[in-house]
A and B are shown apart, each in its own frame.
Chain A
Amino acid sequence: MIPREFEYHAPATLPDALALLAQLGDEAKLLAGGHSLLPMMKLRFAQPAHLIDLGKIGALKGIREDGGTLVIGAMTTENEIVWSKLLQQQCPLLVEGARQISDPQVRYKGTIGGDISHGDPGNDHPAMMLALSASFVLDGPDGKRVVPADGFFLGMYDTLMKPDEIMTEIRIPVPAAGTGYSYSKLKRKTGDFAAAAAAVLLRMKGGVVDDARIALTNVGPTPLRASKAEDALRGRKPDDDAIADAARLAMSICAPSADQRGDEEYKTAMAGEMTQRALRSALARAQQ
């Protein structure tokens, strides 16, 4: 399978890439790791006339901490996230999630910025971004803007990003020391998208839940933040009843579409199960 013909551009700097994007308009698609876009192009689900490859722009890569915020270049790959000592220490949720994305070869090429900006509800970073209260830096013809992850995802393949913008950075506030975390994902096999998955951050204080963040993957047209489930846990002892209540509330917002991974009922049930597993695992890791 070979994609339709297109013109290839490999700008060396961000301003060059933005200028090309402005000039070529919606005829162009941005190429990051290429492991969503190129398969779609082979299947003719996408047929852009131009590809703008962001792979030569070194400034879009890298992981650093800047005053309590983790700053990740949008072209940073999944394996770079998995191997990052800084993230292993400061944001292990992201490492645990990235380890469950696709397979080793795909993780050498797939990027966090591509995963997020593609707007595919099956991608794993969006739910983690909601759980982590991340924000995204979008560069466009009029400069930079920073938008929160919560509200960024509008629908299937639809985000707040405009066609003339490029995602350049992901910013994540470093979770407080002792915060429990988990990304629990059910998939049929290596390389598959989630049948359902849950990202959880959990902070405990005096034996009760001080704060919880719960977000779900692939059980709706966008990643879903389970706010009611979070509210039900706050201030409560996280016993079996509390965890079951949270899972039930998380299930109540699911609207998955049926496919080979299961029907609506099964996927909703699995979202509940993943929420329970992620909460238990986060609880075991949280400093009491």
Chain B
Amino acid sequence: MAKKHAVTFKLNGKEVDVVVPPRELLIHTLRERLQHTGPHIGCETSHCGACTVDLDGMSVKSCTVLTVQCNGAEVLTIEGFAAGGELSVLQEAFTEEHGLQCGYCTPGMITRAHRLLKENPDPSEEEIRYWMAGNLCRCTGYQNIVKAVQYAAKKLSAQAPA
């Protein structure tokens, strides 16, 4: 047996401690040890983006990150978006614009869109399509996902202090 590692990181603002073998992937730690089942397992080959989480300010596919690499990191998953029973702006946007059908890709989509809007608060449609290209949706044809990101961008910029 390979030596296990104690790993401490912040998950949606709260510190968590896990002891994991090096081969354990972040998606499994989140879902199976920490009961955060929002990030989904789609392809397991770093193509589909369903497992996307925010790791130290980067959108990453948590099926292709080892949990041992995350010591000291800050991790944000879809569970960290709604506050006090209120949907976040991006969650509201995906609801209002019908940015989902089956919902399987949605946690990854919203988590990715969050980082995109942090980096580029006013993206063009082309920029949204280019920077969301790591998340696959098999239902919607992407049209309403793009609209949802545009809705969120507009609302967030209206909220931002001038």
**A191 close to B66 (CB less than 8 A):** no
Q: Choose, from B21-29, B85-93, B96-104, B151-159, the stretch at the interface.
A: B21-29
Contacts of B64 in A (CB 8 A): 34-35, 38-39, 109
Q: Type the 1/0 row for B107-146, where 1 means its CB is closer than 8 Å to any CB of A.
A: 0000010001000000000000011111000000000000
Size of interface on A: residues with Cβ below 8 Å to B: 27
Q: A10-B69, A39-B45 are in contact. List 18 more A-B contacts (CB 8 A).
A: A2-B28, A5-B2, A6-B2, A6-B22, A7-B2, A7-B3, A34-B64, A34-B66, A38-B46, A39-B46, A39-B64, A103-B133, A105-B46, A105-B52, A106-B46, A109-B65, A190-B134, A191-B47
Contacts of B59 in A (CB 8 A): 104-105, 108
A2 to B65, CA, bound (A): 11
**B66 close to A104 (CB less than 8 A):** no
Task: Return the contact of B132 from the options A34, A38, A55, A104 (Cβ within 8 A).
Answer: A104
Q: Type the 1/0 row for A231-243, where 1 means its CB is closer than 8 Å to any CB of B.
A: 0000000000000
Identify the closest chain A residue to B24 (Cβ).
A2
Does A4 touch B at the CB level, under 8 Å?
A: yes
A34 to B25, CA, bound (A): 12
Q: How far in angstroms is the closest Cβ of chain B from A118?
A: 15
A24 to B65, CA, bound (A): 23
Contacts of A103 in B (CB 8 A): 49, 133-134
Task: Return the contact of B131 from the options A8, A34, A53, A104 (Cβ within 8 A).
Answer: A104
A13 to B98, CA, bound (A): 49
**B23 close to A3 (CB less than 8 A):** yes
Does A1 touch B at the CB level, under 8 Å?
A: yes
Contacts of B46 in A (CB 8 A): 35, 38-39, 105-106
Does B1 touch A at the CB level, under 8 Å?
A: yes
Size of interface on B: residues with Cβ below 8 Å to A: 33
Identify the closest chain B residue to A8 (Cβ).
B22
Contacts of A2 in B (CB 8 A): 23-25, 28
**B58 close to A108 (CB less than 8 A):** yes
**A105 close to B60 (CB less than 8 A):** yes
**A38 close to B60 (CB less than 8 A):** no
Does A137 touch B at the CB level, under 8 Å?
A: no
Does A144 touch B at the CB level, under 8 Å?
A: no
A43 to B47, CA, bound (A): 14
Task: Return the contact of B44 from the options A42, A53, A102, A190 (Cβ within 8 A).
Answer: A42
Q: How far in angstroms is the closest Cβ of chain A from B75?
A: 14
Does B148 touch A at the CB level, under 8 Å?
A: no
Does A51 touch B at the CB level, under 8 Å?
A: yes
**B49 close to A108 (CB less than 8 A):** no
**A8 close to B133 (CB less than 8 A):** no
Contacts of B49 in A (CB 8 A): 103, 105
Which of B23, B60, B61, B133 gathers the greatest number of chain A CB atoms within 10 Å?
Answer: B23
In A117-160, the 8 Å CB interface with B consists of: none
Identify the closest chain B residue to A55 (Cβ).
B69
Q: How far in angstroms is the closest Cβ of chain B from A232?
A: 35
Contacts of A105 in B (CB 8 A): 46, 49, 52, 59-61, 112, 134
Contacts of B3 in A (CB 8 A): 7
Which of A1, A8, A38, A105 gathers the greatest number of chain B CB atoms within 10 Å?
Answer: A105
Identify the closest chain B residue to A107 (Cβ).
B134
Task: Return the contact of B66 from the options A7, A8, A106 (Cβ within 8 A).
Answer: A8
In B36-55, the 8 Å CB interface with A consists of: 44-47, 49, 52
In A81-113, the 8 Å CB interface with B consists of: 102-106, 108-109
A191 to B47, CA, bound (A): 7
Identify the closest chain A residue to B21 (Cβ).
A5
| 14 A-B pairs in the complex with CB atoms less than 8 angstroms apart | A1-B45, A2-B24, A8-B68, A38-B65, A51-B22, A103-B133, A104-B59, A104-B130, A105-B46, A109-B58, A109-B64, A190-B133, A191-B47, A191-B134
